[in-house]
Chains A and B, each alone.
Chain A
Amino acid sequence: MKRAAIHRKSGFRDPAFLFAVLIIYFGVMPTRAYAYLDPGTGSFIFQILVGAIVGGIFYFKNFIASLKEKIARLFGRKPADDSASQSAQNADSAGRSSSTATDNKPAAANQAADSNKPADRQEKQL
């Protein structure tokens, strides 16, 4: 699998260990900087380090999702219905790239935010 190859290439195999290193690494760093600021550098390097971890988690999530799908198929059930989020007017259909197709979490901005909120009532205002 292509994704697996990419993951191995990065050379990081244990996200938990790496994350612990990150916490120690940046947890003890000073929070104040007195020099001329170039906030881009820290963000750039940081996301390369973090990318190995979140990439690993992402790969693992997709792996589990596809595994669930395979097991469901094995027992003759259809995989989880994805149509709701795909029909959403908002991004989600676009946001769900082919490589994330196994991730069943609704990504749509609207759906995600709506699900967290109590139902709206028509309020009167004067």
Chain B
Amino acid sequence: MTRERIAASFRDPCGFIFKRDGLIFRQINPAGLDDYRHLLQSGLYEMLTGANLVIKHSEVAAENPENKSVAAGGPAQLIRPEQIQFISYPWEWSFSQLKDAALTTLAIQKAAIDRGMTLKDSSAFNIQFIDARPVLIDTLSFTRYQEGSPWAAYRQFCQHFLAPLALMSRVDIRLLQLFRVHLDGLPLDLTSRLLPLTTWLGFGLLTHIHLHARSQAYYADKSASPAAHSGGLSKNGMLGLIDSLESTVNALNMPSQRTEWGDYYSDTNYSDPALLNKRELVDAFIARSEASGPVWDLGANTGFFSRLASARGLQTVAFDIDPVAVDKNYRQCRQNHEKCLLPLLLDLTNPAPPLGWENRERMSLAERGPADLIMALALVHHLAISNNLPLDMIAAFLARNCRRLIIEFVPKADSQVQRLLASRADIFPDYTQAGFEQAFSREFRILAVEKVRESERLLYLMEKA
């Protein structure tokens, strides 16, 4: 049995995660055993997993050859956490997803303090979404709380959650993408400088961002020891800090920002019968595809068609480029307690590269695939015409990332394509049904073609050749 250590799991000496036979395990080193046992014995684990805040796990018998290398010498504990279908990163979340992740982290910290434990980190990467619920996946994030000690993860919380939320809410929703550059969260001095002056008037952002950033800068070149500040942070101070952060996060709302796709639904050229017909055809194609694994819906918008897959119990990721559409989709999932659906932000023409140490810490999109089925509805004309991508390059990309494909071809006669061509020369002689089928036939076998009623559009079911 080969085990492959997950490249992002190197920071905590208390343990690490690895993959074996396609399953994720976590090894708890002797250094982390005391805290791990306290988590279980204090009842905190039961309480937090019962509230769906922390990932459930089962203990697994350790296989010993590997354990000899454990630094402290003693036996390690292996646990098998509930398996996450698709790892997502904060820069792929919508505003509400990041906000819920932040509130979940604070709720966990509050519960932990009550049971004599505290979160030793508050990384946004430790939160993943399971059935539209944010869940802490790092069982080793807990350590014993000693009254008087400050929250070691306070800085990280402000950088990973509060700073991006504040920038998205008060400046521009697109500023979340700064996270892709600053993998340990947004620097507070940068955040402070980008936020409008009015944010100095509110207690929360003034304290946790602006003054916090000043404090960091002030102590940056001083050898002051936190221990020198006698008295530390009382338990009441700690609860007050969590309460204050919670109020600050709660006061930040999704900005009412107009985006390209925000009004997409109202000015589409489809009549309702066409929509219903397309829905029926896509549903029939999903059934016929016999997909059993993960489904990616590329250009999912608010997930109207993604839900056809997730309703069948298929783990579905609904990707879209528009943060407003993704946020709507997520809120709908959350409101209806939907299962198997994960809305995420993705610019398909520039997906996030692998990031972090040796470019191996945070995976690219392709590394998290392939999908069993990709749905690309009303997408090809945007890639081919707006982004000048040749059809064979689109076909090759899709073939690398899925086994089966449901794809819609929108011909030039369609008003949506005419709109894209309105302001530019038509340099796309191959953008025809014949050209499309020829390009895709190099990579796929076409299993079925159906015309969407009352439109010129064609739906294809394909299988990788």
A residues touching B (Cβ–Cβ < 8 Å)? Answer: 3, 6-7, 9-11, 22-23, 26-27, 29-59, 61, 89-100, 103, 107-110, 112-114, 116-117, 120, 122-126
Please name 9 pairs of A and B residues whose Cβ atoms are closer than 8 Å in the assembled complex, sorted by A.
Answer: A6-B235, A27-B214, A40-B155, A93-B51, A94-B53, A94-B107, A109-B103, A113-B100, A125-B265
Closest Cβ–Cβ distance, residue B100 to chain A (whole Å): 4
CB nearest to B228 among chain A residues: A45
Does B250 belong to the interface (CB within 8 Å)? Answer: yes
Q: What is the predominant secondary structure among interface residues of chain A facing chain B?
A: helix
| B218-235 CB contacts (< 8 Å) to partner A | 218-222, 224-226, 229, 231-235
**With A47-B154, A109-B99: A99-B220 Cβ-Cβ less than 8 Å:** no
A117 and B331 alpha carbons, distance in the complex (Å): 9
Q: Collect the chain A residues with CB atoms within 8 Å of residue B397's CB.
A: none
When the two chains form their complex, are residues B243 and A100 in contact, meaning their CB atoms are under 8 A apart? yes
When the two chains form their complex, are residues B114 and A45 in contact, meaning their CB atoms are under 8 A apart? no
When the two chains form their complex, are residues B335 and A38 in contact, meaning their CB atoms are under 8 A apart? no
A120 and B332 alpha carbons, distance in the complex (Å): 6
A59 and B241 alpha carbons, distance in the complex (Å): 11
Q: Collect the chain B residues with CB atoms within 8 Å of residue A39's CB.
A: 155, 216, 220
* Contact residue among A3, A42, A113 (Cβ-Cβ distance under 8 Å from B218): A42
| 9 extra A-B contacts, CB within 8 A, seeds A51-B234, A120-B328 | A6-B236, A26-B214, A31-B214, A32-B217, A55-B233, A57-B240, A89-B51, A95-B53, A109-B104
Q: Collect the chain B residues with CB atoms within 8 Å of residue A103's CB.
A: 243
Closest Cβ–Cβ distance, residue B77 to chain A (whole Å): 24
Does B334 belong to the interface (CB within 8 Å)? Answer: yes
CB nearest to A92 among chain B residues: B107
Does B382 belong to the interface (CB within 8 Å)? Answer: no
**With A40-B155, A46-B215: A94-B220 Cβ-Cβ less than 8 Å:** no
When the two chains form their complex, are residues B53 and A91 in contact, meaning their CB atoms are under 8 A apart? yes
* Contact residue among B206, B207, B226, B240 (Cβ-Cβ distance under 8 Å from A58): B240
When the two chains form their complex, are residues B53 and A90 in contact, meaning their CB atoms are under 8 A apart? yes
When the two chains form their complex, are residues B114 and A51 in contact, meaning their CB atoms are under 8 A apart? no
When the two chains form their complex, are residues A47 and B244 in contact, meaning their CB atoms are under 8 A apart? no
A58 and B238 alpha carbons, distance in the complex (Å): 10
* Contact residue among B103, B216, B274 (Cβ-Cβ distance under 8 Å from A107): B103
CB nearest to B410 among chain A residues: A126
Segment touching A, from B17-25, B299-307, B361-369: B299-307
Across the A-B interface, how many residue pairs have beta carbons closer than 8 Å? 255
B interface, size bucket: 35 or more
A35 and B234 alpha carbons, distance in the complex (Å): 31
When the two chains form their complex, are residues B110 and A97 in contact, meaning their CB atoms are under 8 A apart? yes
Q: Collect the chain B residues with CB atoms within 8 Å of residue A37's CB.
A: 220
Q: Collect the chain B residues with CB atoms within 8 Å of residue A54's CB.
A: 207, 237, 240-241, 243-244
Q: Collect the chain A residues with CB atoms within 8 Å of residue B449's CB.
A: none
**With A26-B211, A26-B214: A9-B335 Cβ-Cβ less than 8 Å:** no
Q: Collect the chain B residues with CB atoms within 8 Å of residue A97's CB.
A: 110-111, 113-114, 239
A7 and B222 alpha carbons, distance in the complex (Å): 29
A39 and B328 alpha carbons, distance in the complex (Å): 36
**With A29-B218, A59-B236: A90-B104 Cβ-Cβ less than 8 Å:** yes
When the two chains form their complex, are residues A109 and B134 in contact, meaning their CB atoms are under 8 A apart? yes
A23 and B300 alpha carbons, distance in the complex (Å): 47
CB nearest to B134 among chain A residues: A109
When the two chains form their complex, are residues A46 and B216 in contact, meaning their CB atoms are under 8 A apart? yes
Closest Cβ–Cβ distance, residue B327 to chain A (whole Å): 9
**With A31-B213, A94-B107: A59-B240 Cβ-Cβ less than 8 Å:** yes
Does B268 belong to the interface (CB within 8 Å)? Answer: yes
Q: Collect the chain B residues with CB atoms within 8 Å of residue A38's CB.
A: 219-220
Q: Collect the chain B residues with CB atoms within 8 Å of residue A36's CB.
A: 220-221
Question: In this complex, which of A3, A91, A99 has the most chain B Cβ atoms within 10 angstroms of its Cβ?
Answer: A91
Question: In this complex, which of A26, A38, A43 has the most chain B Cβ atoms within 10 angstroms of its Cβ?
Answer: A43
When the two chains form their complex, are residues B236 and A29 in contact, meaning their CB atoms are under 8 A apart? no
When the two chains form their complex, are residues A123 and B304 in contact, meaning their CB atoms are under 8 A apart? yes
**With A54-B237, A89-B52: A31-B103 Cβ-Cβ less than 8 Å:** no
CB nearest to B253 among chain A residues: A116
**With A91-B51, A116-B253: A33-B217 Cβ-Cβ less than 8 Å:** yes
Does B56 belong to the interface (CB within 8 Å)? Answer: no
Question: In this complex, which of B208, B211, B238, B275 has the most chain A Cβ atoms within 10 angstroms of its Cβ?
Answer: B211
| B151-210 CB contacts (< 8 Å) to partner A | 151-152, 154-155, 158, 189, 192-193, 206-208
Q: Collect the chain B residues with CB atoms within 8 Å of residue A43's CB.
A: 154-155, 158, 212, 215-216
Over the window 303-334 of chain B, the binary record of Cβ atoms lying under 8 Å from chain A Cβ atoms (1 yes, 0 no) is 11100000000000000000000001001101
**With A32-B217, A39-B155, A57-B244: A48-B337 Cβ-Cβ less than 8 Å:** no
Q: Collect the chain A residues with CB atoms within 8 Å of residue B238's CB.
A: 51, 55
Closest Cβ–Cβ distance, residue A54 to chain B (whole Å): 4
When the two chains form their complex, are residues A22 and B243 in contact, meaning their CB atoms are under 8 A apart? no
**With A32-B217, A33-B217, A90-B133: A44-B104 Cβ-Cβ less than 8 Å:** no
Does B108 belong to the interface (CB within 8 Å)? Answer: yes
CB nearest to B212 among chain A residues: A46
Q: Collect the chain A residues with CB atoms within 8 Å of residue B67's CB.
A: none
Q: Collect the chain A residues with CB atoms within 8 Å of residue B335's CB.
A: 114, 120
